[in-house]
Amino acid sequence: MIFLATRGLLVSAPQVYPGSGWTPGPQAAGAGYPLVPVTASAPTAPSPSRRGLVVGRLRAWLALIKPRIIELLLITTVPAMVLAARGWPGTGLVAATLVGGVLTAGGANAINNVVDRDVDARMERTRRRPLPTAAIGPAEAFAVGVVLGVTGFFWLWATTTLLAAVLAIAALAFYVVVYTIALKRSTPQNIVIGGAAGAAPALIGWAAVTGSVALQAWLLFAVVFFWTPPHFWALAIRFRADYAAAGIPMLPVVAGEAETARQILAYAVSLTGISLLVYPVADLGAVYLGVAVALGLGFVIGAVALLHHPHRALRVFQFSNVYLALLFGAVALDVLVEAG
């Protein structure tokens, strides 16, 4: 006998006597047999197509190299090249340098994902990355990173200069070994020292044009180096609980939000001073000076506000992205306007 319920199927079962191992279900009113719920089997999901598997793997590889971070790195490369050439250095050279930058930076990010896969799995912000979700295995991700890094080195050597290639592969090694392995889990100064890797594209761009590194290039390097701590500390304030849960000693976790805000202000002031020093040393004009002053004031004002309103940390982080793009854009624009 079969009984239908509102949202499921109830099947009557004959009485099983003691000792059989079966526990009777609840008795329906007026029925002589207990009713046992029957769970319907879920329909079998269709197998993904070959094309779907390929597209999914390509998306996972793209996420592995962290393209949004690479965008910021490339923003500093082209203006450095324009300044080194005192004009447009040539579309072919710019394209070749950007390709090499994407390859080496992507390789560094892929290997970083392998090393940090346990941390990423514990953080809300990063747990959907390819390794924590098992979209890619560690061995495959590491292989992707190595192939990208080595390819980027030889690409830059073949299409630009040996110095640019050496600087790029050195930045990869510094990011993986010094920052990710040695510093990230051991000291709140991790992002201060590790920021040198993110500042390297300014040197790489300059070296790609000239085959050397001049004082102006080192000043652009210093701008990114001093920009990096307040940029990441603002993000770390917003995701402080995430970093604490993962055991990463970011400054807000170790020293608290108030001290982190003071450090962000100190770095914002220092960054503004260095950005203004670029003006005379690089022989730039009014376009750059006006943008540097306005952006510097904006960064300092935002950092002061953060002292009293920690919930504005994400705004400071977002402004820092705009700051870097506009400041380096002003470098390129100033040179190109002067070159006419």
Lowest mean pLDDT among 27-41, 149-163, 263-277, 297-311: 27-41
Dihedral sign (CA 95, 100, 101, 105): positive
Q: 51 or 33, which is more confident?
A: 51
The residue type found at 269 is: V
Structure token pair of residue 331: 């470098």
pLDDT value, residue 61: 81
**Reported confidence tier of residue 72, pLDDT bands at 50, 70, 90:** confident
**Reported confidence tier of residue 39, pLDDT bands at 50, 70, 90:** very low
**Reported confidence tier of residue 332, pLDDT bands at 50, 70, 90:** very high
Share of the chain above pLDDT 70, in %: 85
Closest Cα to residue 180, out of 118, 93, 95, 265? 118
Instruction: Tell me what the mean pLDDT of segment 273-302 comes to.
Output: 97
Q: Taking every pair of C-alpha atoms in the chain, what is the biggest distance, in angstroms?
A: 98
Cβ contact 311:222 at 8 Å: no
Cβ contact 214:220 at 8 Å: no
Structure token pair of residue 293: 């002053």
Domain locations in the chain?
Answer: 2-38, 57-339
pLDDT value, residue 46: 52
Radius of gyration, alpha carbons of the chain: 28
**Reported confidence tier of residue 3, pLDDT bands at 50, 70, 90:** very low
Highest mean pLDDT among 59-63, 74-78, 284-288: 284-288
Instruction: Tell me what the mean pLDDT of segment 164-183 comes to.
Output: 96
Structure token pair of residue 49: 């197509």
Structure token pair of residue 24: 């009777």
- Is residue 26 scored above 60 in pLDDT? no
Fold of 57-339: Farnesyl Diphosphate Synthase (1.10.600)
